Amino acid sequence: MANLITSQHYLNDEIVEEKRAAQDYVVTLSPEFEYAGERYQVIIDGTHSLAAALLDGVEPEVEVAGRENDTISLLERGNIEGFLEAQWTDGDYHHFGLEFVETGRPCLVW
């Protein structure tokens, strides 16, 4: 799996706990792409589910978005900047891992 990134900085602890209780670990990712020499996938949906999976120490159930997501065509055309802008949520893109879930400190990417 490539580096997972998101521009969503806000995580609601109650939602994460609900996902943990339901064992809802479904995460939708973009197809892999290269940016500045690194391989990435954007978390399109399921940020709270991914946080729950990381906290529970289980593998998330990953789905890769296809053409049903209209922004994927931007990736297919090589328009990475346009894709990242279209997927933007509430802050700079950062790596998403257990450290971010536990501390809220992002490692900025874009």
| Residue 34 confidence class, pLDDT cut points 50, 70, 90 | very high
- Domain containing 97 equals 3-103
**CA terminus-to-terminus distance, the chain:** 19
Out of 6-10, 14-18, 47-51, least confident range: 6-10
Residue 74 domain flag? yes
Residue 55 domain flag? yes
Residue 109 domain flag? no
Q: What is the pLDDT of residue 91?
A: 86
Domain count, the chain: 1
Residue 75 domain flag? yes
Residue 97 domain flag? yes
Alpha helix stretches (DSSP H) within 32-97: 47-56, 72-76, 80-87
Average pLDDT over the chain, rounded to an integer: 90
Query: What is the CB neighbour count within 10 angstroms for residue 50?
Result: 27
pLDDT digits (tens, 9 = 90+) for 39-90: 999 999 999 999 999 999 999 999 999 988 889 999 999 999 999 999 999 8
The residue that leads in pLDDT, 110 or 70, is 70
Tokens encoding 89: 């949520």
